[in-house]
Structure 1
Amino acid sequence: MGHRNVSRLSRRVFFGATALAAFGVASLAPYAATAQDGDQAEWPQSYEASPHMAVGRESTPILSPATVTATEQAIQNYQNIVAKGGWGQVPPGPDLKIGSKGPRVQALRDRLVATGDLDPIAGAGTTYDSFVEAAVKRFQARNGLSESGAVNEATFVELNVPAETRLQQLETNIVRLKAYSGDLGERFVVVNIPSASVETVENGVVYSHHAAGVGKIDRQSPIMQTHATEINFNPFWTVPPSLIKKDLIPKMKDDPNYLTEEKIRVFNKEGQEVPPSSINWNTTEATNYKYRQDTGADLNSLGFVRINIPNPYGVYMHDTPSKGIFGDDFRFVSSGCVRVQDVRDYVAWLLKDNPGWGRDQIDEVIRSGQRLDVKLTTPVNVYWVYVTAWATPDGIVQFRPDVYQRDGAGPGPLASAVP
């Protein structure tokens, strides 16, 4: 269905004002070789051999005093960058990659040096060499982009966001981060909507990271504080009323076999199953029925597991049969709920205080297909937040797209009770 192409287009359209920056990197070891402009430069030291240049899995929670302190320092650094005139633009044109040559490569080097992604010692040259590639990977990692090492259209967009805009983004988000500077609990979960990610935190340290699928621009995931209270294994999915009109009726008009193919059963108000063919799909009659999808992760929209987090919006966290979304840069794909990568590991962590519920038991109940609800012995705090810019204690500054346009325009509409 061309999902990846649509994802990239969507990111370009909606995130036209986003780019990435970092500051405070240590210098690289001296180079033992240089190259003339126009030659293919291959430095003797590689990206992998320079761990201080890599962007690894962060152990500091995004909601923590350490992140607040690091972000305050980043604000000072960006104030200095802005005071010196910011950074130059990388001229538009074809994608840049290893072997590319010309003045645009020099402009790219200058841009990467400005934010600490490329050491100044490697800042001269019109050939795209392995160190430029490594710097681009670093830039992409800090901006939530796939680390291809090539400058594609999405990366050009992020590179060319002005320094003033980045500074404003940091100043907006330090207020959000400080709002969570209190005691969040010994164990808690953070869903950061702009980065479409989930992290579990235990004793002040990140225990696990999970890619996520979050609400679309027009069906946003809400900002909220709640608790994980119950795990539903092999759940049914009941189509929310909001989706009956928006999605289900139009699909049935296009394809009368849609409900049957999706294993969605129709029930009247008395709880009796009725055939889809008995409903007039050209009227609103369909809104008088209940629609329930059978269990089974091959088709069920919730996959194998649903995590209940009581809230007034009717949203929750769950597995998904569409695992491919977790490899996309653009993961704003749901109707408000949060889809979690590696959901079995996530559930095992949530259930760690429940006797007899290790990973083996979780795998077994999923394998059985049995409908089973398990209440957490100890509810776990859950925070859905909207943070588009922050820094970590190692000096790396992260930026994510303001997909819901909340950094300057206020809150957007909240989600409906749908996955």
Structure 2
Amino acid sequence: MFPRLSSLALAALMSWGAPAMSAPLVTPLQQAVAQAASADEDIAAFYRARAFAPIWMGEGAADRRAAFLGALDRAREHGLPAGRYDAATIRAEFAAVRDPAGLGALEVAMTRRFLSFAQDIGFGVLNPRDVDRTIVLEVPRPERLAQITAFAEGDPFDAVQALAPSSPAYTRLLREKLRLEELAAAGGWGAPVSSPALKPGAEGAGVVELRNRLIRMGYLRRSVAATYDADLESAVRAFQIDHGLSPDGEAGPATLAAINVPVEDRLAQVVVGLERQRWMNKPLEPRHVLVNLAEQHAYVVDDGKVTFDTVVVVGADTPDRRTPEFSHMMTHMVINPTWNVPRSIAVKEYLPALRRGGARHLQVHSRSGRVNHDAIDFSRYTASTFPFSLKQAPGPQNALGRVKFMFPNRWNIYLHDTPSRSLFERDVRAFSHGCVRVERPLDLAYHLLTPQTATPEADFTRILNTGQERRVNLDTPVGVHLVYWSAWVTPTGRANYRGDPYGRDARVIDALRAAGVELAATRS
């Protein structure tokens, strides 16, 4: 329930009905609203359109206040900085206001608060580029005038509910956040496993610790057995799958490190995940490619359903190689691509080899054309004076493999094949110069070509067998979204967690904490 306004304020509001659209400012309240709104053009336009009639007080205001303040009371559920909105202070302000000037100032302050909250819950508390310069997502910005108008003219409870992202991924993360908070309040997952490694058949205290922890995590039914039996092995394997680890059923160092992560750290990942979902709160293309850099996995999504997926290798964790986060449109693929070696790679990695007489697989080009290796004294050049460009012709050992998938962007990032296959077997696959290497590139090509040809594999193979570079346009461009999601919940309800290969999550959670987001107290 809301505190009652003072009798003076109530009497004033009963007499200050909303005037006709063309009526002049005749009441002190309207004058106060006009003055308070003048500093913000969107808010001023909103109130001008309604002849400066209030929405937070007077007729219909009780439901609007109830809807909005109720949402503020639940802000913490979304991983938002609840103290930023301070619903208790707002209620106190309504109880204390007495004069028209105060009422007008409070009216406009409420609208500002609503728009600020709408931005936070719908599109993120943080500006991602302020957190990390490699997060270059174009976060959608709401039309503030449309937001407050919809709230004022429609059902306020529906309008407030519509502020948060409506994606299933966001909703599932909200449920996971609540689950983890309840676990944290109940003591977390218990004592960590003290053994450095455990294998099936093992016995003793370490096995008991492992079993108890997996029981509390929900991977194993309650038991008192002290042997690493088949049930425990199956539980470890399920845990490994959910955490991106090789599912061998053995609790090795990497698996135990993941098992020993405190519940609060997983909760922090979920809170970061909610913020990241808000950054992506926009309609995605009916067909799009989602590359999860934290997971090192790529998906093709058609009408909300995954229709193809593949393991990928992403940029190494160095300042000049980390793959950025951004969205773009894939317009074409290149079969039998030539690799135009980026200058940074040419001078840092290949110039020393050229000086030693190596890197013979690369063509050397001047402005006049191709130059014979033997005609150049590479020892004369430094990284700053090297005047040549390097290329690798199409072929089995080309660094881009048999195909590259192009979504032209200023970072020169794209997806491509690779002749180096061993890295796909790793649990963590951050090794490239920044582009995304695809484990199943040919299958991806067939899948992307299927909407425009009845024989995608045959068409692709015919071009591939020529050995000549060929551009193939996509009849309908495909959205590409490079994201960094270390926590998500599958449609079947399985929570998945990954590491933080670039340290971006750590920076995001630090920034969220600095903004006032509160997490549960630490437990094991």
Question: Normalization by structure 1: what TM-score?
Answer: 0.78
Shift in CA distance, 240/69, structure 1 to aligned 2, threshold 3 Å: same
1:63-78 matches, within 5 Å, as 65-78=167-180
Question: Quick one: distance in 2 between partners of 1:276 and 1:131?
Answer: 65
Please tell me whether the aligned partners of residues 100 and 127 of structure 1 are also in contact (alpha carbons under 8 angstroms).
yes
Structure-2 residue corresponding to 1:288:
387
CA drift of 1:95 comes to 2.3
Structure-2 residue corresponding to 1:58:
none
Question: Quick one: distance in 1 between partners of 2:171 and 2:280?
Answer: 13
1:195-210 matches, within 5 Å, as 195-210=295-310
* Structure 1 gap ranges (5+): 1-62, 412-419
Q: Secondary structure at the match of 2:195?
A: coil
How many residue pairs get aligned? The number is 342
Please tell me whether the aligned partners of residues 415 and 437 of structure 2 are also in contact (alpha carbons under 8 angstroms).
yes
Note if 1:187 corresponds to 2:272: no
Structure-2 residue corresponding to 1:328:
426
Please tell me whether the aligned partners of residues 244 and 287 of structure 1 are also in contact (alpha carbons under 8 angstroms).
no
Q: Secondary structure at the match of 2:505?
A: coil
Please tell me whether the aligned partners of residues 172 and 407 of structure 1 are also in contact (alpha carbons under 8 angstroms).
yes
Structure-2 residue corresponding to 1:242:
344
Question: Quick one: distance in 1 between partners of 2:485 and 2:407?
Answer: 21
Shift in CA distance, 308/357, structure 1 to aligned 2, threshold 3 Å: farther
Report sequence identity in percent.
32
Structure-2 residue corresponding to 1:274:
372
Structure-2 residue corresponding to 1:143:
243
Q: Computing the radius of gyration over CA atoms, which structure comes out larger, 1 or 2? A: 2
Question: Quick one: distance in 1 between partners of 2:214 and 2:496?
Answer: 14
Question: Quick one: distance in 2 between partners of 1:357 and 1:267?
Answer: 38
Note if 1:256 corresponds to 2:357: yes
Q: Which moved more, 1:338-347 or 1:90-99?
A: 90-99
Shift in CA distance, 281/135, structure 1 to aligned 2, threshold 3 Å: farther
Question: Quick one: distance in 1 between partners of 2:182 and 2:257?
Answer: 23
Please tell me whether the aligned partners of residues 334 and 405 of structure 2 are also in contact (alpha carbons under 8 angstroms).
yes
Higher share of residues assigned helix: 2
Structure-2 residue corresponding to 1:55:
none
Q: Secondary structure at the match of 2:444?
A: helix
1:6-17 matches, within 5 Å, as none
1:85-100 matches, within 5 Å, as 85-100=187-202
CA drift of 1:179 comes to 2.9
Moved over 3 A (4+): 89-94, 250-253
Q: Secondary structure at the match of 1:232?
A: strand
Shift in CA distance, 385/366, structure 1 to aligned 2, threshold 3 Å: same
Please tell me whether the aligned partners of residues 230 and 376 of structure 1 are also in contact (alpha carbons under 8 angstroms).
yes
1:73-104 per-position Cα deviation (integer Å, ceiling 9, x unaligned): 00000001111121234434342111011110
Question: Quick one: distance in 1 between partners of 2:500 and 2:374?
Answer: 41
Question: Quick one: distance in 1 between partners of 2:451 and 2:364?
Answer: 38
Please tell me whether the aligned partners of residues 196 and 256 of structure 2 are also in contact (alpha carbons under 8 angstroms).
no
Shift in CA distance, 370/293, structure 1 to aligned 2, threshold 3 Å: same
Question: Quick one: distance in 1 between partners of 2:166 and 2:473?
Answer: 28
Note if 1:315 corresponds to 2:410: no
CA drift of 1:300 comes to 0.7
Note if 1:341 corresponds to 2:439: yes
> Which of 58, 68, 79 pairs up with 2:181?
79
Q: Secondary structure at the match of 2:476?
A: strand
RMSD value, Cα: 1.9
1:39-85 per-position Cα deviation (integer Å, ceiling 9, x unaligned): xxxxxxxxxxxxxxxxxxxxxxxx98222111110000000111112
Note if 1:220 corresponds to 2:332: no
1:187-207 per-position Cα deviation (integer Å, ceiling 9, x unaligned): 010000000000001121100
> Which of 195, 200, 204 pairs up with 1:102?
204
> Which of 115, 125, 128 pairs up with 2:217?
115
Q: Secondary structure at the match of 1:267?
A: strand
Please tell me whether the aligned partners of residues 89 and 159 of structure 1 are also in contact (alpha carbons under 8 angstroms).
no
Shift in CA distance, 287/75, structure 1 to aligned 2, threshold 3 Å: same
Q: Secondary structure at the match of 2:506?
A: coil
Note if 1:372 corresponds to 2:473: no
1:287-335 per-position Cα deviation (integer Å, ceiling 9, x unaligned): 21010012112x1110000111111101111001012222211210101
Please tell me whether the aligned partners of residues 241 and 287 of structure 1 are also in contact (alpha carbons under 8 angstroms).
no
Please tell me whether the aligned partners of residues 354 and 378 of structure 2 are also in contact (alpha carbons under 8 angstroms).
no
Question: Quick one: distance in 2 between partners of 1:94 and 1:371?
Answer: 52
Amino acid at match of 1:353: P
Q: Secondary structure at the match of 2:353?
A: helix
Question: Quick one: distance in 1 between partners of 2:490 and 2:382?
Answer: 52
Question: Quick one: distance in 2 between partners of 1:269 and 1:131?
Answer: 67
Q: Secondary structure at the match of 2:390?
A: strand
* Structure 2 gap ranges (5+): 1-164, 510-524
Amino acid at match of 2:330: A
Please tell me whether the aligned partners of residues 336 and 468 of structure 2 are also in contact (alpha carbons under 8 angstroms).
yes
Shift in CA distance, 119/363, structure 1 to aligned 2, threshold 3 Å: farther
Structure-1 residue corresponding to 2:148:
none
Q: Which moved more, 1:264-273 or 1:86-95?
A: 86-95
CA drift of 1:248 comes to 1.3
Note if 1:133 corresponds to 2:233: yes
Amino acid at match of 2:272: T
Q: Which moved more, 1:184-193 or 1:268-277?
A: 268-277
Question: Quick one: distance in 2 between partners of 1:388 and 1:64?
Answer: 20
Q: Secondary structure at the match of 2:238?
A: helix
Amino acid at match of 1:66: P
Please tell me whether the aligned partners of residues 90 and 104 of structure 1 are also in contact (alpha carbons under 8 angstroms).
no
Which one scores higher on RCO, CA 8 angstroms, separation ≥ 6?
A: 1
Question: Quick one: distance in 1 between partners of 2:493 and 2:499?
Answer: 20
Amino acid at match of 1:161: V
CA drift of 1:352 comes to 2.4
> Which of 276, 279, 295 pairs up with 1:176?
276
Amino acid at match of 2:295: S
Question: Quick one: distance in 2 between partners of 1:279 and 1:377?
Answer: 47
